[in-house]
Amino acid sequence: MDAKEILLHIKQAELQCELVIEAGHELDRAIKQLQDWSEDWDCQRRACEDVYDAVHLILIHSYQLSRIFWPAKCCGELGLDMCHRAMTLRSEINLPDLRHPLRNETLWRHADELDHSVRDNGSMRRYNAHHLTSFNQVITWMDNEAMFCWLEPGSKTFVFHTEEFALTELLDAVLQLQQDIQHYIKKQHQPNLSLAKRAFYPYEKQWAN
């Protein structure tokens, strides 16, 4: 890949980071609303829906981010190209090949499961109709097929179809990645600025005389 193509993919990753972090802020706001509206059932239900939506936005955009740096398949010509591209991108940002919160199979399975649910027109409605707040400050959801998921707001631990997600760790990793990406982009612009300064210096000196 040339420098322009690398920068294009890096900026795509930066956008996904922004979407994850914004969803994290939405989750914090929804949890606070849930606590503030503890006496109002209708407001609680709406806050639970906002919590659920924010959690899944975090996971969906984290999945998109994950696939930029760790593609699904590395077989065939296209798969090998994607893997080589991902290796280059990881190298540019200094990401590890293996151990990273975004390189997580549960993210990939969650995306597959949610995609399967979206294809069924009734699936998303069945979740939206069953938001509940249970004891011990644990937010729970139950669908019509008795599939259970829950969030513990204090630790931001989310369980979806028996898969567990440490959202705080995930959000921290995405925030760090965003900072690394911004540092990389800034560094890429510095040589151009230096060249511009060197080109301007003789012109400035000429007029000074």
pLDDT-wise least confident of 66-70, 113-117, 169-173, 185-189: 113-117
Confidence of residue 45 (pLDDT cuts 50, 70, 90): confident
The arithmetic mean of pLDDT across residues 49-77, rounded, is: 86
Q: How far apart are CA 102 and CA 65, in angstroms?
A: 8
94-103, 163-172, 188-197: the lowest-pLDDT one: 188-197
Q: For residues 98 and 100, give the distance between their C-alpha atoms in angstroms, rounded to a whole number.
A: 6
Q: What is the pLDDT of residue 3?
A: 87
Position 192 pLDDT exceeds 80: no
pLDDT at 78 over 80: no
Q: What is the mean pLDDT of residues 84-106?
A: 91
Give the DSSP per-residue string, 4-68.
HHHHHHHHHHHHHHHHHHHHHHHHHHHHHHHHHTTT-HHHHHHHHHHHHHHHHHHHHHHHHHHHH
- Report the share of the chain in percent with pLDDT over 70: 70
Structure confidence at residue 173 (pLDDT):
97
Range among 69-78, 87-96, 173-182, 200-209 rated most confident: 173-182
As a 3-state breakdown, the chain gives helix, strand, coil percent values, each rounded to 5, of: 70, 10, 20
Report how far apart, in Å, the C-alpha atoms of 107 and of each of 60, 119, 159, 176 are. 8, 19, 12, 18
Tell whether the model's pLDDT for residue 191 goes beyond 50.
Answer: yes
If you average pLDDT over residues 155-160, what whole number do you get? 88
